[in-house]
Structure 1
Amino acid sequence: MTSDRPTSPATSRKAAAALIAAVLAMTAWHAFNTWRGADQAAEAMVQALTRTMEYQTDTTLRSVDNLLLEAVQRIDPAQWPQPTQTQWLQARLADFPEARNLLVVAPDGKSVGPGLSAAGMIGPPLDVSDRQHFRFHHDHPDNHRLIIGDPIIDRLDGRQIIPLSHAIVDSSGTFKGMIAIGIDPSFMVKALESLVIEEAGGISIIRDDGVFLARIPDPYGSFGRSVAGSPLFQQFLPRSPSGVARFVSVADGNAKIVGYRTLARYPVVVTVGMTEKTAFAPFWSEMSWISLAVVVISGALY
C-alpha cells in the first residue's frame, strides 16, 4: 500500500531551500552573463567610436600638414609677401574651415608682415619668438615634421588657437623661419559632438604629452590643460598605444571605460569614454527586477 503520510514540515523546508538555492544559482549565472554582455558592449562601442575619431583627426591634421609643406617649399620669408603667393595661399585657406589664419615668421621670431586668412591680411606684425613651436623649429631646424604647438590665445584676434607649423630651411639646412597655421579648436569640438556617447563619459583629442587640444565636456575650460598625471598616461599608454582603459578620470572624477588610440603619423591621442554608470545601467535595471522576483518566489516557497 502507498503511504499517505503527510510530508513533514522539515522535509518541505529542505525542498524549498533546495529550490531557492537552485533559483539563486541560476540568477547568479544570469547576472554574470548579463554583466559580461554589458561590459563587452561598452568596450565594443568605445573602440569603434575611437577608431572613427582617429581617422577624422588624422585626416584633419594631414590636410593642414600637406598645405604647410606646400607653403614652406614656395615661400621665402625674405621675399614675403608677394601678391601671387598671398593670392594662392588665400585661396587655399578658403578650403580649410578649421584654419583661422597663417603667419610667416622670420628667423628672429618676428612675423613678416601681418597674418593671412581666407579673407585677406589680418592684424599687425607679431613677435612669436617666445612661442614653444617657434623655439622648437629654431633649435631643431633639421626636424622636418609637423609641430603641434601649445594651445594658446592668438595674438592676432585674442581667440584660442592650436598652432600647427613647419620650419623653413634652405638647401644647406639653414633655418630661414617658420610658417604656422592657427587651427580653430571649436572646429575640432564640433567634430567630437557627433561621436560623444554622453558628456559625463568625455571625448577628447590630447597631445601625446597630456595636453588637451579639444574636449567635451568643458571645451574652453579644458583647453591647454594637462592630464599627464592621469592613469591613461601613467599606466595604460606606456603599456600599449591603443586599447581600452578603466579608471577614475582626473578631469571630472567619473569612473569610466575609455577607448584610446595613438595616431600613427602625429603625436596625438584620441579618447572616447563612457561612464560605468551608463555602461551597466541596463544590467542594474534588470537585476533589480530579478532580485524582486527571487524575493517574492522565495517567500512563497519558504
Structure 2
Amino acid sequence: MLRIQNLRKRYGNTEVLKGINFEVQTGEVFGFVGQNGAGKTTTMKIMTGLLAADSGSVEFNGVDLLFNTKYMKKVIGFVPDYFGTYNNLKAIEYMEFFASMYGLHGKEARGRCMRMMDMFMIGDKAETYVDNLSRGMQQKLCMARALLHDPDLLVLDEPTSGMDPQSRLEVKNLLKELGKTGKTIIISSHILPELSEMCDTIGVIEKGEILFQGSMDEIVTAVNVSNPLTLRILDNLDTAVKMLREHPLTKSMAIDGKDIQLSFKGDANAEAELLEQMIANGIKVISFGRKRDNLETVFMRITSKEEGGRKNRV
C-alpha cells in the first residue's frame, strides 16, 4: 500500500503542496487529477526522488521512500510528462541503455526489452531512431522502459499525452491488466473523463490540496447531491407539494405545472425514502431523480472557487 502523509513543498513564498494526504491500495489503479499547476507533477517528483519535500512522508509497503532511495529505485517505475532528448539512439538501444542500469546485459537484456516493447505493441519499432517516433510512440516506449525492472509501483505523469484514440484504449486496457497482477499504479491527468474508465479510485488536487478521494461513482454522487431533485407528478399534486414543503431536508422548491424542482439535501437513501413516502400517500409520480452532470462538469465544479473550500473524503 502507498500512503502519503502531510506532504508539503514550498517554492519561495508559494506553498505548492499544503500537507496532502492520500492512500492507494496494493493493486489499485489510482487517478490523480487536477488542473495544470495544481500540484500533480510536484507530488510525483517527490514520490520518485526527483524533488525533495519540505516535510511529510511517502510510505510504500511500510517503507518511507523519502529516506530509502535504494528501495525507491527498486520498486518504482516512473514515466514523466516529457520524454526527454535521446538523439541518435534507436528504440532498442534506448531500452538496453536503461536495462544496463538495472543490471541486465546481453541476451537477457535484449529479451526483456523486446518483451516490454511488444507489450505496448511497438516491437516493430525497435530499429527506429527515437527522435523519428511520434509523440504517442515515444510515450509507449517510455512506459515500456518503466517496466523493465518489474516495479511494484508505477507512477505515470500524463502517460497518454499525444496518443491517438486507439493507442489510448490499448494503454488503458494494459494498465488495468497490470493492476490485476498486483502492481499499484498512479496516473495523473488534467482530464477527468480520460481516467474514469481505467481507474479504481480518483483523487482530485487543486492548489496543493486534496479536495476529494474516492471511486468515480462516489465523487459524481457527492457533487451531484447539490443538484435539484426533479419530479413530475401525475396525480395528487397538492398533497405532493404539501408533503415536500414540510420535509425537513427540503431547502426550497419551484413548481411549474406538474413539474417540481426541489432543493433536497439528502443522499440516495433519503431520496428513496422520500419516493416511498410519496407513493404510500397516494401520490402518482411519473419521474423522479437528480440531474447528473457529465464528468467534465463534475471536475469543473470540484475545482471551482465556490467548491474549492470544501474538502471531502468520499
TM-score for the superposition, normalised by structure 2: 0.29
Structure of greater Rg: 1
Q: Using structure 1 for the length normalisation, give the TM-score.
A: 0.30
Q: Which has the higher strand share?
A: 2
